[in-house]
Structure 1
């Protein structure tokens, strides 16, 4: 199209695409931005992950720092500014976003994940500390408990139970409970070993079973707006609700079909309850960008019927 429209533009585009340095800059951008995308993508899944967000952010920032300071990318960045200055700008942007979006509830959920108290997890990185030894987490956790338990006596009881849990006291000191902190899913672990602290166990059941974003609600609203629109505005609320319910369950059933991920044309979304790392090399980027969350083929087939209102 450029060649027919403007020969000089076509020549410039061709020279750019054949320039190795241009692709080095692209590799540099993907090298550190891929980790940010990956973290956001994991947080967008339809599964409990509120207790994982705090650790995801810490890990993502460390990966971004490592990618930016790679020798093969240093000369690309230093053309514009020093690597240190570049990282400071990226770091400040990430911290500002985390400060804006984080809440004491994230810190409370993080503190209730038994994995982060296990010796196996702490030994993976010498800089890691258990949540109860982190001053910032302690402050945010107290704020959360004050909101959740306004009664001082009940709040003190919960704090006492948290001390038993975090310091491996009483029932939490058994070798089996200590070993399984790293190997069991958080909810499974609390179900097996948390009965001696009923208030804390109840809180853990609530927080460790929560997604970390409103993506599920957004998808539900998108489905509703897809069904109830300008051309289909005579649906009764109950009928629209029933259609959303049917649509959502058809989506879940479609994901269980073995052919779901094999046939791109039949995929309803980008694997809402699964995730593959963009940096692992297993994801075809061209296939990824052509998938649509808003106009999937199967949705059009089911719901764009002239007489659906009747």
Structure 2
């Protein structure tokens, strides 16, 4: 359970905004658990089902996929992100939810060509070296000026305020789940 605990610690972290890292860390945790238990073992199948159920109903949101998609630390070194249907669908859903203007949504999708192809400032060596050393919101502020609509969206996704809101939501979900479990237990006793 160590990998899952590390994911939860990431969420509870006040120093580094977790939004752009949660999706990747969860995927990495699943791989680590699969290696530890054996990918074809019954134990792994049980644990994997529990993790997936919790992940899908409580933590997996388009915002996490978009945070992963727009995190330069991952996107620029993992071209397979573009082929991941869940991630790209999540990013598109996030654009639709966070950007109410259809015209602005269309501008974002037009600007995506530069991001996907890593053109302009995204191709600069200095920008590439900064992927792992600068917070994603700050990175987008420095290097995203050629794609101002994506820049604004990415900075919004990676902001500390956005991450605190998600942290509060997570606390509320845990609170509701815990109280529901207590109520169910009490109802069974009666």
- Does TM-score exceed 0.5, indicating one fold? yes
How far is 1:199 from its partner?
A: 1.5
* Paired residues, number: 166
How far is 1:149 from its partner?
A: 2.3
User: SS of the residue aligned with 2:128?
Assistant: helix
Where does 1:112-151 land on structure 2 (aligned, <5 Å)? 112-119=70-77, 122=78, 129-151=79-101
How far is 1:201 from its partner?
A: 1.2
CA 180–63 in structure 1, closer or farther in 2 if over 3 Å, else same: same
1:49 aligned onto 2:18: yes
User: SS of the residue aligned with 2:46?
Assistant: helix
CA distance, structure 2, for counterparts of residue 152 and residue 50 of structure 1: 25
Match of 2:168 in 1: 214
Structure 1 gap ranges (5+): 1-32, 71-82, 123-128, 219-310
Match of 1:68 in 2: 37
User: SS of the residue aligned with 1:195?
Assistant: coil
CA-to-aligned-CA distance 1:196-236 (integer Å, 9 cap, x gap):
21121111222112324228977xxxxxxxxxxxxxxxxxx
In proportion to residue count, which structure has more helix?
Answer: 2
Measured on the aligned residues, the alpha-carbon RMSD in Å equals: 2.4
CA distance, structure 1, for counterparts of residue 104 and residue 170 of structure 2: 33
Match of 2:45 in 1: 88
Q: TM-score, normalised by structure 1?
A: 0.49
CA-to-aligned-CA distance 1:120-159 (integer Å, 9 cap, x gap):
xx4xxxxxx4432211111121111112223322101011
Match of 2:181 in 1: none
Structure 2 gap ranges (5+): 173-190
CA 153–215 in structure 1, closer or farther in 2 if over 3 Å, else same: closer
Higher mean alpha-carbon deviation, 195-204 vs 176-185, is at 176-185
1:104 aligned onto 2:104: no
CA distance, structure 2, for counterparts of residue 201 and residue 106 of structure 1: 17
Match of 1:296 in 2: none
CA distance, structure 2, for counterparts of residue 86 and residue 103 of structure 1: 27
